Amino acid sequence: MADTKHLVGRRTIIATPRRSAPQATTPRILMERAVAVMTESIAEGRNDGKSTPLVGAVLLKADGDIETACRGELREGDHAEFTLLERKNRSARLDGAKLFATLEPCAPGARNAPKLSCAERIVNARIKEVWIGIEDPDPKVDRKGIKFLQDKGVTVHLFDRDLQEEIQAANKSFIEQAKGRALAAAQEPIPAVLSELEAGLPSAKLGELSKDVLEQYREAIGITGTIESEAFQARLLAHGLLEDQKGKRVPTGFGVVLFGKEPRTRLPQAALLGTIHFDDGTEETRDFDGPAVNIPDEAIQWLKDKLPNPISRTQAKRKEIHETFFRLLREGIVNALVHRDYSIRGAKCQLVVRGNGGTVEVMSPGVPVVPITMEQLQSFDAPMLSRNPVMHFVFATMQLAEERGLGLKSMKAIAVAAGLPLPSYSYKAPYVTLTIHRNTKSAEASLDRGLLDQLTDAERKGWAWLVTQQMITTADYEKAIGVPNRTAKNHLKKLTDLGLLKMTGAARATRYEVARK
């Protein structure tokens, strides 16, 4: 194909379509290639200081041909998907093709009319399978492009976690600006709807929202003046917390859940129900049903007041473990509130404590948001994706949640650092349940009694260490437990036969992982 010339400002770019011959490839290789192409993006010559994203796109055609594009490659400001689909393949048949893009394609309504969004162009090209790196961080469009594709029958996958983090790092400036961008007025609504809570609630009034919590949010987003100011009201509109209904501003469902004085009067599912089952057979309950942004700290304080803390001030390590447990629990509660499925009206988030020194379960209604799987949650390496971006944006802005998607990863890291058993995820309709152990003894006590009776004291010691690890080798076990190689192999084989461990690989590549349910 002949070279083509495109004039960008005063530059003339000679562009040759990047195409490679058919070759054996894998999704991982194409993800990596998209990330590499992303780094070649050409920044726009802007005078307003606004950062533009680095975006790379890779197209795998049905015949095995591969083409790539980056943002601004042929013309300043052109999206990578637009360049790839409209400029390089406008007349090509792309049935059976697969697309890999490092940033979520923009959704319908996100671009000025009459421009088509990238998501619409993908659907029009009849591409049925797409891999996406990270969500667009703008709270008005976050996950809307993904949802639009899914609603049109496109199968969406996410890039591997490590590549997502690489994309985020390369786009740090763009992401920070998008998250904190001061919008003067609400944008036009985007057709893709993630939750019914995005809409204004019938007859809801601004007076139903807590002034104290709104004041905290105003300070967090850096708006001067009062919570009644036009600047702050416009920001609430832009963030999907208020809706303009014929000139009248009313709280949306998310506005009520996050800031409402009594959210359950309108949304009965908006609460965290706490239950402590004490060792003496008694129990205590408490409903946390005020503004969602207050719930995690209120729940943690309740448990700290109720659960015994036998740790003396001289026992620094035990004190550290105790505080680490509450860090894990707080992150689990935040995740449960932010990522639950609020369309399940008959279920509420629950916090269940079993015994003074035992396990704590945090239950969140709804299966993991597609395409995240339970297996990915259980590995603590799930791709980053928000079910309720509006809620996550508010929690993160108020520093009540970690950066996008990193809470899950940090839970594993802080548990390992403190020598606590790794938390585990399970699903029993309608709840995804996170189980956190206060110590290794509680992990042992949670075993089926029949299994526990089959373990020797030495094997129980080994099990208590194993539950604090993700993946280990025989040599790791030998060193940690202080047993000979043959004994280590016998312990690991028995624990595997009992279904407590899963073995992968063979010979020197053999690895063992706790079979968390």
39-82 confidence digits (pLDDT tens): 999 988 777 667 889 999 999 999 999 999 999 999 998 999 99
pLDDT tens-digit map of 151-192:
999 999 999 999 999 999 999 988 888 766 534 334 455 567
* Cα-based torsion angle of the residue sequence 145, 101, 402, 252 in order, rounded to the nearest 10 degrees: -10
82 vs 76, 175, 298, 325, 434, CA distance in Å?
12, 21, 48, 48, 41
Q: Quick one: which of 357, 516, 356, 363 has its CA closest to 438? A: 357
> How high is the mean pLDDT of the chain?
87
First-to-final CA distance of the chain: 55
447 vs 393: which has the higher pLDDT: 393
3-state secondary structure (DSSP) of residue 271:
coil
How far apart (Å, rounded) are the C-alpha atoms in residues 63 and 23? 10
How far apart CA 16 and CA 1 sit, in angstroms, is 8
**Structural domains for the chain:** 4-179 (3.40.140.10), 196-265 (no CATH), 272-441 (3.30.565.60), 449-514 (1.10.10.10)
**SS3 category, 89:** coil
Write out the two tokens for 82.
């637009």
100: how many CB neighbours lie within 10 A of its CB? 27
Percent of the chain clearing pLDDT 70 (strictly above)? 87
Determine contact, residues 124/94, Cβ cutoff 8 Å.
no
Which of 26-35, 167-176, 406-415 shows the lowest per-residue confidence on average (mean pLDDT)?
A: 406-415
Cα–Cα distance for residue pair 328/190, rounded to 1 Å: 36
What is the arithmetic mean of pLDDT over 123-149?
Answer: 90
For position 405, what pLDDT does the model report?
A: 61
Distance CA 107, CA 383 (A): 21
- Whole-number percent of the chain with pLDDT over 90: 59
To the question of pTM greater than 0.75 for the whole model, the response is: yes
**Residue 508 confidence (pLDDT) above 70:** yes
Residue 58 · residue 37 · CB < 8 Å: yes
